[in-house]
């Protein structure tokens, strides 16, 4: 047996355990969920649960609510994270030092604790309302148990990770390129759109993809902070499964969420492959 073949067998032996674990915890549940969503109580093949997913007024409202919340959250996360990353990359001083020391803290706070903190701070009788009450401010906009509460939690959970990714990408841009562009008369907007974005957009796509998947599949914060109706798909799926005990409908909802994430993953992978092909030519 040649040395190359031995190395191939050894590499395959290292990969097989990870692949089997992936099949056990990811692929097998997906296949079982698809099979269950396509069978009625009698075991017959049917699309009724997917039809109901889009025709049921409550569930279609949940889908629209989830997509709107996800898109708005991702846009806000990326804009704020990008702004913070650029500010830390091209600025200095004590404010930047403070941001660099503190912006990672939310990543180490459990989602349950963060949600509980948001409730205590922004609730009807929370700390904010108590602080503003002596000033004569009583009517505060509803944040907790509302769309805005989930949006606030999504920003809390995703901005640090997005900022970390983008800051890492921006740190790889040499100062010499920026200075050369300034020397030939390029303005700030020109440098941003023609240098910074092209040199960091791959990391930006990674940040968008991970933010989208994390937000659309979120459960803890929407469950604790969101309204009773409409609900995000994760909370609605839990209610369908545990309260109404409609396992086939819950499986159809799970498959639909997986398809949404798959489209986002496909878009990201396709873009990366195109860029790699373009760079090789």
Residue 87, Ramachandran bin (φ over 0: left; ψ between -120 and 50: alpha; else beta): alpha
Residue 203 has pLDDT above 70, yes or no: yes
Question: Residue 216 falls within a domain, yes or no?
Answer: yes
Residue that wins the pLDDT comparison between 257 and 268? 257
Residues 158 and 21 in one domain: no
Nearest CA among 74, 84, 96, 106 for reference residue 163: 84
Q: What is the predicted pLDDT for the residue at 279?
A: 65
Residues 88 and 222 in one domain: yes
- Span 125-135, average pLDDT: 83
CB 246 within 8 A of CB 189: no
Nearest CA among 213, 202, 199 for reference residue 264: 213
Q: What is the mean pLDDT of the chain?
A: 88
Residue 274 has pLDDT above 80, yes or no: no
Residue 256 has pLDDT above 90, yes or no: yes
Q: What is the predicted pLDDT for the residue at 72?
A: 96
Q: What is the predicted pLDDT for the residue at 13?
A: 84
For the CA atoms of 23, 24, 26, 28, the dihedral, rounded to the nearest 10 degrees, stands at 80
Residue 275 has pLDDT above 90, yes or no: no
Residues 31 and 107 in one domain: no
- Span 119-133, average pLDDT: 85
Residue 24 has pLDDT above 90, yes or no: no
Place of tokens 């004590």: 94
Confidence of residue 278 (pLDDT cuts 50, 70, 90): low
Question: Residue 189 falls within a domain, yes or no?
Answer: yes
Residues 10 and 138 in one domain: no
Question: Residue 9 falls within a domain, yes or no?
Answer: yes
Supply 78's token pair.
Answer: 């990326």
Model confidence pLDDT, tens digit, residues 231-249? 999 999 999 988 888 999 9
Residues 30 and 153 in one domain: no
Residues 30 and 56 in one domain: no
Q: What is the predicted pLDDT for the residue at 1?
A: 62
C-alpha to C-alpha distance for 161 and 109, rounded to whole angstroms: 13
- Span 72-76, average pLDDT: 96
Residues 181 and 59 in one domain: yes
Q: What is the predicted pLDDT for the residue at 160?
A: 93
Question: Residue 42 falls within a domain, yes or no?
Answer: no
- Span 172-193, average pLDDT: 86
- Span 97-106, average pLDDT: 86
Question: Residue 197 falls within a domain, yes or no?
Answer: yes
Q: What is the predicted pLDDT for the residue at 280?
A: 65
Residues 207 and 262 in one domain: yes
CATH of the domain at 84: 1.10.3720.10
Number of domains in the chain: 2
CB 119 within 8 A of CB 203: no
Residues 134 and 218 in one domain: yes
C-alpha to C-alpha distance for 119 and 136, rounded to whole angstroms: 22
Residues 5 and 79 in one domain: no
Domain span at 2: 1-37
Q: What is the predicted pLDDT for the residue at 77?
A: 96
Question: Residue 43 falls within a domain, yes or no?
Answer: no
Residues 33 and 166 in one domain: no
Residues 1 and 123 in one domain: no
């Amino acid at each position: 047996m040649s040395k190359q073949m031995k190395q191939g067998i050894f590499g395959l032996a290292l990969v097989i355990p990870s692949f089997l674990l992936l099949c056990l915890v990811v692929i097998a549940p997906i296949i079982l969920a698809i099979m269950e969503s396509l069978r009625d109580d009698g075991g017959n093949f049917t699309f009724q649960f997917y039809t109901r997913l889009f025709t049921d007024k409550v569930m279609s409202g949940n889908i629209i609510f989830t997509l709107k919340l996800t898109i708005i959250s991702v846009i806000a996360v990326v804009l704020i994270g990008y702004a913070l990353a650029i500010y830390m990359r091209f600025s200095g001083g004590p404010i930047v030092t403070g941001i660099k020391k503190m912006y990672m803290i939310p990543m180490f706070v459990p989602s349950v604790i963060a949600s509980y903190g948001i409730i205590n701070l922004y609730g009807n009788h929370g700390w904010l309302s108590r602080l503003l009450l002596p000033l004569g401010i009583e009517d505060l906009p509803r944040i907790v148990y509302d769309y805005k509460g989930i949006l606030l939690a999504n920003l809390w959970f995703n901005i640090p990770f997005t900022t970390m990714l983008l800051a890492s990408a921006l740190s790889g841009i040499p100062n010499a390129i920026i200075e050369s562009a300034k020397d030939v008369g390029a303005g700030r907007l020109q440098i941003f759109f023609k240098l910074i974005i092209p040199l960091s957009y791959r990391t930006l796509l990674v940040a968008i993809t991970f933010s989208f998947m994390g937000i659309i599949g979120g459960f803890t914060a929407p469950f604790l902070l969101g309204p009773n109706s409409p609900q995000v798909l994760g909370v609605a799926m839990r209610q369908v499964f545990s309260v109404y005990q409609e396992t086939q409908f819950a499986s159809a909802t799970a498959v639909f969420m997986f398809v949404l994430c798959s489209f986002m993953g496909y878009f990201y992978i396709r873009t990366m492959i195109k860029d790699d092909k373009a760079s090789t030519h």
